[in-house]
Structures are given as C-alpha cells and as structure tokens.
C-alpha cells in the first residue's frame, strides 16, 4: 500500500464499504457506509498489510480516511 487510494481499496475489498477516492478528505461522520466498527477492523487490516502495530489512539483521533492513512504510515 502506497496511497490513501490503496487504503480505500482495502476497506472496500475487506470491509464491504463503497468508498471512492473522493471520500479521502471527507469527515468520517459524513460517510454513510462508515462506523466505529469499520475503523477497528481497518486498524487490524492495516496492521496485517503494513506488518507492524498501529496506534489505535491515533486512529480514533482521525477525522477522515486521509488522516487515518497519514497516521498509519507515519507511526
């Protein structure tokens, strides 16, 4: 995974979401197909894909998929 678009594809494939690249900057609360369970499942997927632990506290503070991606790759 190299971009937030890869993260969106991962979510769509494994979480059953219907996200588009344009959703990367939208507030998570605005995404009809998104909830807190998706976030926790995405953290687990990211840990598997990146091969390292992800700081859940940072993910909980993220307000968009773009922020989730940034937190995941800079941790």
Q: Report how far residue 54's alpha carbon sits from residue 22's, in angstroms, rounded to the nearest whole number.
A: 24
In the chain, domain spans: 4-74
Contacts of residue 10, Cβ cutoff 8 Å, sequence gap at least 6: 1, 42, 45, 46, 49
Model confidence at 20, in pLDDT bands (50, 70, 90)? very high
The class (CATH top level) of 4-74 is: mainly alpha
pLDDT (tens digit, 9 = 90+) per residue, 50-67? 999 999 999 999 999 999
pLDDT at 1: 75
pTM of structure: 0.90
On the CB side of 22, CA atoms within 13 Å amount to 1
* Widest distance between CA atoms in the chain: 30
State both tokens at 5: 């678009």
First to last CA, the chain: 15
């Amino acid at each position: 995974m190299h971009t937030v678009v890869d993260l969106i594809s991962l979510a769509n494939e494994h979480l059953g979401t219907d996200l588009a690249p344009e959703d990367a900057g939208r507030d998570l609360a605005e995404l009809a197909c998104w909830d807190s369970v998706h976030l926790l499942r995405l953290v687990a997927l990211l840990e598997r894909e990146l091969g390292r632990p992800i700081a859940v506290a940072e993910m909980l503070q993220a307000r968009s998929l773009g922020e989730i991606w940034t937190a995941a790759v800079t941790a």
